[in-house]
């Protein structure tokens, strides 16, 4: 199961669109995979707060580059859902609420 979820994460977030001044769109495949993760209960997104909650086991099993791509993808998702085209997000542990990382188009990626 962990390997399957890891493959989904990899497919979802490895190929990101390049940032530009215009709206950035996620592919239908990326949106479908994000929906699967939400349905499985390992990711919860609150776009209005630019907040993502993720299962800590899944987060620990991601390599740094995958974490960065995941965060960038979630920033794009939140920015587009809100219609602001401001791409930033904070990522928290699904169970403890501990802040795990943050990403913004301007300031980059930081893991805590």
Asked if 89 and 51 count as a contact pair (C-beta separation under 8 A), the reply is yes
Residues 6+ apart with CB under 8 A from 72: 13, 16, 87, 103, 109
Asked if 75 and 16 count as a contact pair (C-beta separation under 8 A), the reply is no
Q: What is the mean pLDDT of residues 100-112?
A: 95
Q: How confident is the model over 24-46, as pLDDT tens digits?
A: 889 899 999 999 999 999 999 99
DSSP state of 84: -
Tokens of 9: 């994460």
Residue 61: pLDDT over 50: yes
Instruction: Return the half-sphere exposure (C-beta side, CA atoms, 13 A cut-off) of residue 3.
Output: 0
């Amino acid at each position: 199961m962990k390997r399957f979820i890891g493959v989904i994460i990899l497919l979802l977030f490895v190929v990101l669109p390049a940032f530009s001044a215009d709206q950035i769109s996620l592919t239908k495949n990326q949106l479908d995979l994000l929906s699967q993760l939400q349905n499985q209960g390992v990711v919860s997104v609150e776009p209005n707060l630019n907040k993502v909650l993720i299962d800590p086991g899944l987060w620990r099993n991601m390599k740094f580059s995958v974490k960065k791509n995941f965060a960038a993808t979630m920033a794009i998702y939140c920015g587009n859902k809100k219609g602001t085209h401001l791409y930033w997000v904070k990522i928290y542990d699904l169970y403890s609420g501990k802040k795990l990382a943050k990403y913004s188009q301007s300031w980059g990626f930081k893991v805590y």
